[in-house]
Amino acid sequence: MNSKCPFSKHPLQRLKSLDREGRVIYVGSFSKSLFPGLRLGYLVGSKPFIREARALRSTVLRHPPGHIQRTAAYFLSLGHYDALIRRMGTEFHARRLAMEEAFAQNGLTVAGQGAFGGSSFWMRAPANVDTEQVAERLRSKGVLIEPGRPFFTQQDAPKNYYRLAYSSLPVRKIAEGVALIASEMRP
């Protein structure tokens, strides 16, 4: 297993798991792991906090219908969600390794090292490359990159950074897509 791959390491302990005094609240949702339209989240906190959150929630008129909540709870209780998360981790690991291998074969530069997990890479192109122009050319070839300039705060932000996501890419298409990116980055 590649020691550089975040999926080969154990994740950091959640802050909530270290909380001994009930001061940390863990908030999450199923929007990314199940589907965006679900609009269903969860809280993990102390009993007094959860009691107050439930009371407050009852005053809000817009919330997911009860049958949606019960269906999600049933799905969780059968262990399907845990199995889904394991499968996603295995697939993301394979995709990430395929991306790293394609970068090495094509001479692309990762800008920094990511933490555990994730589903994208921050990349650095040669200094003279404008990734917004590259993104436009690649789009017509069916390859998407996200130019990095909007993520910088300064006015004269560098134009040569970009992000590559792999959460929806089949492993078999990664090498071909990365090779197209590399060919567009060359002067």
The b-or-e profile of 63-91 (16+ CB within 10 A means b, else e) is eeeeeeeeebeeeeeeeeeeeeeeeeeee
pLDDT digits 0-9 by tens, 79-133: 999 999 899 889 999 999 999 999 999 999 999 766 556 789 999 999 999 999 9
Q: Mean of the per-residue pLDDT values for the chain? A: 87
d(CA 16, CA 27): 10
Which segments of the chain does DSSP mark as H helices, in order? 15-18, 47-57, 66-77, 80-106, 131-139, 171-185
pLDDT digits 0-9 by tens, 74-93: 999 999 999 998 998 899 99
Number of C-alpha atoms within 13 angstroms, CB side, residue 59? Answer: 4
pLDDT digits 0-9 by tens, 138-170: 999 999 999 999 999 988 899 999 999 998 899
Helix/strand/coil percent split, the chain, to 5: 45, 10, 40
Percent of residues, the chain, with pLDDT higher than 70: 90
For residue 139, what are its two tokens?
């789009």
pLDDT for the residue numbered 108:
94
**Residue 163 Cα distances to 18, 147, 178, angstroms:** 33, 6, 12
Q: Residues 121, 115: contact at Cβ < 8 Å?
A: no
Q: What are the chain's domains?
A: 6-78 (no CATH), 87-185 (3.90.1150.10)
**Tokens 């090779």 correspond to what residue?**
179
Q: Give me the sign of the Cα torsion angle 105, 146, 163, 169.
A: negative
Q: pTM for the complete prediction? A: 0.75
